[in-house]
């Protein structure tokens, strides 16, 4: 009878030793920075800046919404004077800073955010998706695409970069690694840090910058061309711009961003870059989206991703 008892004691000791050993190898969260706590949380909960994470199915064209308005809880974040002139049937006029609070009224419906051009709405979608509304979507091209009377795009397409001294076909800037941003927060755990950072994003509002300002002062910014390499080779880019795409937490491409400078991201239309900019703002970077993207710089050179025309869908008043 003694032998089994000896084995039991031996197994118990081994188990205790193993548990003790494992405990020593666990990370000490007390030594993690606020940035590390936040980014670890975003990675674990599939909120990374990827097409399978926070960028999954985030935008929808007006043609898909028309006739299906009742399927969505529509937040129109334009000024009330414009909302009252024309809005989508059933839409709610909500201030940008209140979109997360208003989301509680959606009652399970997919939230659709509409603005003037689709750029401000993309900021709001990031705030919503980071706040527990993973299916929130942005209306592509904004209300400009809903009805021609609301068009804010046509007056903003431009060829200002064509022939500009600071638009180049040279190689993009060489990537180097930088330190993480100094994320100042009163939160002590990842969830409270994330909430505080989303609140900061909502308080700041849409963070955009005009193409002429960036082209004329490119060396004042850390510029990221959020395109595929083939597209940069086809069209060129702003002088000294980097090309960081993908830009993820999991694979560490965020380390190529310089937290000491204002990070300007541009894409085709300013809508995707607005998503990226909002996300970077939450992470603690000083970030801005180049408004109207390539459509506002090299419109007539573009072979795709171009603003074309407005819809003719009904307006509610």
Which CATH number is 167-301 given? 3.40.250.10
Cα(98)–Cα(102) distance, integer angstroms? 6
Task: Give residue 21's pLDDT.
Answer: 42
Task: Give residue 6's pLDDT.
Answer: 37
Residue 4 tokens read as 């089994």
CA distances from 127 to 51, 114, 147 (A): 17, 14, 27
Task: Give residue 36's pLDDT.
Answer: 98
Which residues, other chains included, contact 49 with Cβ-Cβ below 8 Å and sequence gap of 6+? 55, 246, 247, 248, 249, 276, 279
Q: Where in the chain is the domain with CATH 3.40.250.10?
A: 61-153, 167-301
Domain 61-153 bears CATH identifier 3.40.250.10: yes
Cα end-to-end distance, the chain, whole Å: 88
The ranges of the chain with pLDDT < 70 are: 1-30
Task: Give residue 20's pLDDT.
Answer: 41
């Amino acid at each position: 009878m003694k032998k089994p008892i000896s084995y039991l004691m031996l197994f118990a000791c081994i188990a205790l030793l193993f548990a003790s050993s494992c405990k020593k190898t666990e990370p000490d969260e007390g030594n993690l920075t606020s940035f590390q706590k936040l980014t670890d949380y975003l990675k674990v909960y599939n909120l990374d800046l990827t097409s399978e994470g926070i960028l999954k199915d985030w935008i929808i064209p007006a043609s898909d919404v028309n006739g299906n308005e009742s399927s969505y809880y529509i937040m129109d974040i334009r000024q009330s004077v414009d909302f009252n002139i024309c809005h989508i049937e059933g839409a709610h006029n909500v201030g940008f800073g209140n979109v997360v609070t208003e989301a509680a009224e959606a009652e399970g419906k997919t939230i659709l955010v509409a603005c003037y051009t689709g750029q401000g709405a993309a900021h709001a979608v990031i705030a919503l998706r980071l706040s527990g509304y993973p299916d929130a979507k942005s209306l592509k091209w904004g209300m400009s695409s809903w009805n021609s009377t609301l068009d804010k795009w046509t007056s903003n397409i431009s060829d200002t970069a064509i022939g500009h001294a600071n638009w180049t076909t040279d190689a993009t800037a060489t990537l180097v690694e930088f330190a993480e941003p100094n994320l100042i927060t009163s939160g002590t755990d990842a969830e409270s840090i994330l909430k505080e950072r989303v609140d900061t994003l909502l308080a700041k509002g849409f963070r955009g910058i005009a193409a002429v300002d960036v082209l004329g002062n490119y060396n004042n910014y850390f510029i990221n061309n959020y395109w595929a390499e083939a597209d940069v080779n086809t069209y060129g880019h702003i002088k000294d711009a980097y090309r960081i795409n993908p830009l993820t937490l999991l694979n560490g491409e965020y380390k190529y961003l310089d937290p000491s400078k204002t990070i300007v991201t541009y894409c085709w239309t300013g809508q995707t870059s607005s998503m990226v900019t909002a996300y970077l703002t939450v992470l603690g970077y000083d970030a801005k989206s180049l408004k109207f993207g390539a459509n506002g710089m090299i419109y007539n050179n573009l072979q795709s991703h171009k603003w074309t025309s407005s819809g003719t869908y009904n307006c509610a008043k």
